[in-house]
Structure 1
Amino acid sequence: MSLSTDIPYLMSVIVPAYNAEEHVGSCLESLCRQSLRNFEVIVVNDGSKDRTAAVAEAVLSQSGLPYHVLSQSNQGVSVARNSGLKVAKGKYVMFLDSDDYLHENCLAELTHRAVTTQASVVFCGYDYVSHDGELLRPYTERHVYLQQDTVSGPEALIEVFTERISVWTGSVMYLKDHLTRYDIRFIAGRTMAQDIEFEFKALFYAGRVSCVNQSLSFYVQMPGSATRTGDFLKRLQGMDVLFALLDHFAGHVQSQEQRQARVGLGEQHSSEYDMEKRVIECLQTYMIPVSLAGVFGSLAADGYPWRDYIRLVNNRANYMEALNMFSPVFDANFAARRRFQVRLLRSSPSVYFVLSRIRGRLR
């Protein structure tokens, strides 16, 4: 594929890193081994107090790949990713966390799929692995791949909401122009679920989404990475992101319909937004209630105090309203389990707490 002089690389891989000297080397070495060579690596050192930048420089200087090691004051992973995106020169971009790594054919397969399908978002499967490479859970244990060569972004997003497919920061590649056109960036200050917000917006606006039906990305579970007691309430920030996405998507559809009405297109083009409306409905009546059940289940399982738990359920009116909006999706992945969880949390939070606490102790 020929590239214009304005796009010197097929791909830019952006690696935010903070105090990552122990694992950033392995991450970057997986990039150095890629069969695709027409890509650049951008490491954003986010105010590390260790030798992160030096390790990155040492690995990349021997790679033969074009690279940048940018250093900035500590501003969080969202700002670090945006800083990398700002200087990226590739036609496509991908974000890889500094403790994760890729299969040697990952970039080649993703870019080939993007070029042949003209998709603006392409993803692959990803496996959970231990820090020493042991397979903990393969992608196909819980999810499937897309059955078509391409689907629309809203169609793919519904597949994500119903847990049939799964995307993760290190398994998705984006056409950079797509991100620019819709002003998709990571939200500064988000400490949880900032990647979900970015991914879901990118999918929502995508004309075409495609999938490489292989696990080519590896999500490393580091020792001690389980959420600590002091981080309990951070989990609820993920719910705030989902509510914000609901408002964002609904606002987009409303503004587009108003624009069409003003220019006289009216009913004849209303079907254009039917799939986007289905995304909003699925998010509101399925994913948000299911996610609430997941969050409250994990709080109980991991030792969150019972009184605080009940107070949290009772004092967040929007949570109970969301649970009451639940509508089962019978062909969703884990459909029966999700239906049971939401209905039990809605009808008896105390019983749900006890069962979740028992489950946590049996793990």
Structure 2
Amino acid sequence: MDNFKVSVIVPVYNCCEYIGSTLDAIINQDFEDFEIIVIDDGSTDNSLEIIKEKLSTSTRHYEIIHQENAGVSCARNRGIEIARGDYLVFVDADDFITKNHLSQLYNGKTDFSLTQFVKKDGEHLSKPHHFTEKLISCDDFIRMELNMEIPFHFCQLMYKTSIVNENNIRFTPNVVYGEDTEFALKTFIFGENISLGNEITYYYVQHDESAIRTSEFKRFEVVNIFENLAQYYRSHGKDELANLIVTSRIPKAIFGNMNYFFYNDYNFEDVIEKMHQLDLFEKLSKFEGDSKSKFKIKLFLLNPNIYYKVWKKIKNSID
């Protein structure tokens, strides 16, 4: 059985409009020693036909897996199970990578490597984070993420396969938000360093059909993900990082998603009721981070109605 330097894992579900261009970008990499693993997760459109046509006419090593619909986490996990590369790279079926994505990521030395990603919404591009160093310890990177000091997407990374498999790290099934961040943050505690690059090579494409309104309040599921991650860290002797999840990452996730619902015109009473149901007020009160965020959170906890009215007034003045 052949081994490769890199396995590129692509989960697909009803992405016929985008999967062709995504695969073209992968096929046309300026890096040679890699395989493409596409997992069709029960698509009901013609995604599978496009996948077969694109890959069968290329010279790249590839594997196509067709399975009954089980969700993106199960699709990615299936890709990990059959991957033969020393390193893993994940590309979503509707995103885009530049020609040098793999060559920028691969160094064959560090446990992880990272290039920059941006969110692409029409013609608008988000601003990437610029790293001043070329190497960072995994623990330091985790702290930056838990304090939300950097924009982060798990697809901008290359992962050492042996670390993932030897520690049995997989994506949590049946979760809509946060399972990808959980995967990365679990994996990091078993590595030493992350190689950092500042070139933008991954474009995370935003689509109207993926708008937050279709998710109801599922974005709050990320709280459970981070609570489970905190337990995972404690079980591996990472109490300081676990505490940082409780006092920083979870409160910021709650507050950020709450404001996101407000911005997208969710009913104020519905948001507050859902937060009470999930006991999010108590978890929000544990925030111990920066003074600016602490002030906003305290204002909200003191009187949610006043906070919302002030927030709405500021939003309307900006709009």
Same fold (TM over 0.5): yes
Task: State the SS of the aligned residue for 2:216.
Answer: helix
Q: Deviations over 1:290-344 (max 9, x none)?
A: 1111111112222222222232333443x22322221124xxxxx73x3333222
Whether 2:183 is the aligned partner of 1:222: answer no
Tell me the equivalent position of 1:233: 217
Q: Give the C-alpha shift of residue 191 in structure 1.
A: 2.1
**Aligned equivalents of 1:359 and 1:69: distance in 2?**
50
Find the residue that maps to 2:135 and give its secondary structure: coil
Distance 1:153 1:245 in 2: 16
RMSD: 2.0
Amino acid corresponding to residue 130 of structure 1 in structure 2:
D
CA change 1:303–1:124 in 2 (3 A) is: same
Q: Deviations over 1:59-85 (max 9, x none)?
A: 122221001111000000000001111
Separation (CA, whole Å) in 1 of partners of 2:219 and 2:188: 23
Counterpart among 233, 240, 243 of residue 278 in structure 1: 240
Distance 1:325 1:242 in 2: 14
Which residue of 263, 270, 287 maps to 1:301? 263
Q: Which amino acid aligns with 1:163?
A: M
1:8 aligned partner: 3
> How far apart are 1:162 and its partner, in Å?
2.3
Q: Deviations over 1:131-174 (max 9, x none)?
A: 5xx342131xxx332x4333222211111122333331321110
Shift of 1:225: 2.5
Q: Find the aligned partners of 1:73 and 1:40 in 2 and give their Cα distance.
A: 23
Give the TM-score, by structure 1 length: 0.82
Aligned runs of 1:163-178 on 2, under 5 Å? 163-178=148-163
Q: Secondary structure of the residue that 1:75 maps to in structure 2?
A: coil
Equivalenced residue count is: 318
The 3-state SS of whatever aligns with 1:354 is helix
SS at match of 1:129: strand
Q: Which of 133, 138, 151 is equivalent to 1:153?
A: 138
For residues 180-204 of structure 1, give each alpha carbon's deviation from its aligned partner in whole angstroms, at most 9, with x where no partner exists.
1211101122222111111111123
Q: 1:180 to 1:309 in 2, by over 3 A?
A: same
Q: Does 1:186 align with 2:192?
A: no
Q: Deviations over 1:14-67 (max 9, x none)?
A: 000001111001111111121001101111000001111111111122221001
> For residue 346 of structure 1, what is the aligned residue in structure 2?
301
Report the equivalent of 1:102. Answer: 97
For residues 359 and 102 of structure 1, do their structure 2 counterparts lie closer, same or farther at Cα, with a shift above 3 Å needed? Answer: farther
- The counterpart of 1:136, out of the listed 119, 125, 139, is 125
1:10–1:90 Cα contact (<8 Å) kept: yes
Q: Give me the whole-angstrom Cα distance separating, in 1, the residues matched to 2:265 and 2:227.
A: 26
Cα distance in 2 for partners of 1:138, 1:216 equals: 13
Q: Flag the 1:360–1:60 CA change in 2: closer, same or farther, 3 A.
A: farther
Q: How many Å separate the matches in 1 of 2:314 and 2:228?
A: 31
Amino acid at match of 1:123: L
CA contact under 8 A between 2:136 and 2:196: conserved in structure 1? Answer: no
**Please, which moves more after superposition, 37-46 or 190-199?**
190-199
Task: Assess, with a 3 A threshold, how the Cα gap between structure 1 residues 314 and 187 changes in structure 2: closer, same or farther.
Answer: closer
Larger radius of gyration: 1
Q: Point out the more displaced range, 64-73 or 201-210.
A: 201-210
1:351-362 residue pairs with structure 2 within 5 A? Answer: 351-358=306-313
Distance 1:312 1:49 in 2: 34
Percent of aligned pairs with the same amino acid:
26
The corresponding residue for 1:332 is none
Distance between the aligned counterparts of 2:155 and 2:267, measured in 1?
Answer: 34
* Structure 1: stretches of 5+ with no match in the other structure: 1-5, 254-275, 330-334
**For 2:7 and 2:139, how far apart are their aligned partners in 1?**
25
State the shift of 1:218 in Å.
Answer: 0.5
The one of 286, 292, 313 aligned to 1:325: 286
Distance change (3 Å), C-alpha of 1:220 and 1:210 = same
Q: For residue 18 of structure 2, what is the aligned residue in structure 1?
A: 23
